């Protein structure tokens, strides 16, 4: 299995509080991604990174920010959590860009915003 | 923009029967296509991928998929379902200059003993 960990694995938080999710990899892969998974929507890309300090938005980036100061860590921050951000969040990595390149997924973080 | 459509959010088959999970994509340029599987409470893992080589792609666990450009399809098949195949399956695509993958909404496969 690819070395990807996510922390925390479960979190319950209140509306309006900031939340940071961490993705850590030991594979030295260049690309890292944050997705959210919701019933009926599959996986939707929130943000991705193509190198240290290089990030770009995905299709559902509103309300989320990311940072990547080291190759191995990719942080996802909800500045002010809302109930619509209750979801399961997956981090993924790939060695090169997603064209033809397999993505390896972490175990997920289940976030509940009350 | 790329889009991926999976027909049928739930599919049930009997153990030993053919598995057929459907995926159609929209793209004006040749895509790269993937099938991933997700077991309960786990992340996704790659089953197989098409990257413009052979149109019939073989993956892990006996699964295969055929790229049909004329039908813009990439359906996943397995000749004989096992109980262990029960999971959710996602089709995904990327194309052209995209550095992003678009996922379908997933198909949950139930295998009936």
Q: Between vectors from CA A96 to CA B66 and to CA A34, what angle results, nearest 5°? A: 90
Q: What is the mean pLDDT of residues A16-44?
A: 94
Residues in chain B within 8 Å Cβ distance of A89? none
Cβ <8 Å between A45 and B94? no
Cβ <8 Å between A108 and B104? no
Please write the tens of the pLDDT for every residue from B45-97: 999 998 877 889 999 999 999 999 889 999 999 999 999 999 999 999 886 55
Confidence of residue A11 (pLDDT cuts 50, 70, 90): very high
Number of cross-chain residue pairs from A and B with Cβ atoms under 8 Å apart: 59
Cβ <8 Å between A43 and B34? no
How much of chain A is in helix, strand and coil states, percent to nearest 5? Answer: 5, 55, 40
Cβ <8 Å between A98 and B98? yes
Residues in chain A within 8 Å Cβ distance of B54? none
Please write the tens of the pLDDT for every residue from A57-80: 988 999 999 999 999 999 999 999
Residue A23 confidence (pLDDT) above 90: yes
In B, what residues contact A, Cβ < 8 A? 9, 32, 34, 41-46, 49, 51, 90, 94-95, 98-101, 103-106
Cβ <8 Å between B45 and A58? no
Indicate the residue of A40, A44, A105 with minimum beta-carbon distance to B43.
Answer: A105
Are the C-beta atoms of A111 and A89 separated by less than 8 Å? yes
Cβ <8 Å between A50 and B46? no
Confidence of residue A85 (pLDDT cuts 50, 70, 90): very high
Indicate the residue of B42, B90, B99 with minimum beta-carbon distance to A43.
Answer: B90
Copy the structure tokens of residue A86.
């209750």
Q: Tell me: cis bond preceding B104? Omega within 30 of 0 counts.
A: no
CA-derived radius of gyration, chain B: 13
Question: Which residues, including other chains, have CB under 8 Å from residue A1's CB and lie 6 or more apart?
Answer: none
Give the H or E element holding residue A95: none
Please write the tens of the pLDDT for every residue from B7-57: 999 999 999 999 999 999 987 666 789 999 999 889 999 999 988 778 899
Residue A45 confidence (pLDDT) above 80: yes
Residue listed under structure tokens 């892990």: B60
Cβ <8 Å between A48 and B105? no
Indicate the residue of A43, A50, A100 with minimum beta-carbon distance to B51.
Answer: A100
């Amino acid at each position: 299995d690819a070395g990807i960990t996510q922390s925390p694995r479960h979190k319950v938080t209140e509306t309006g509080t900031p939340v940071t999710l961490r993705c850590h990899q030991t594979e030295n892969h260049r690309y890292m991604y944050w997705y959210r998974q919701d019933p009926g929507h599959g996986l939707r890309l929130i943000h991705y990174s193509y190198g240290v300090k290089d990030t770009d938005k995905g299709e559902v980036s509103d309300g989320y920010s990311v940072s990547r100061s080291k190759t191995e860590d990719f942080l996802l921050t909800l500045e002010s959590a809302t109930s619509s951000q209750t979801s399961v969040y997956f981090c993924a990595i790939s060695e090169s860009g997603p064209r033809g390149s397999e993505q390896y997924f972490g175990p997920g973080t289940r976030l509940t915003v009350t | 923009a790329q889009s991926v459509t999976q027909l049928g959010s739930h599919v049930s088959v009997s153990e030993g029967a053919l598995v057929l999970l459907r995926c159609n994509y929209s793209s004006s340029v040749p895509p790269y296509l993937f099938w991933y599987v997700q077991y309960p409470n786990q992340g996704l893992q790659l089953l197989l991928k098409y990257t413009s080589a052979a149109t019939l792609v073989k993956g892990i666990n006996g699964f295969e998929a055929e790229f049909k450009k004329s039908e813009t399809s990439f359906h996943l098949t397995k000749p004989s379902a096992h109980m262990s195949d029960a999971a959710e399956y996602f089709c995904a695509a990327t194309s052209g200059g995209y550095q992003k993958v678009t996922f379908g909404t997933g198909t949950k496969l139930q295998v009936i003993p």
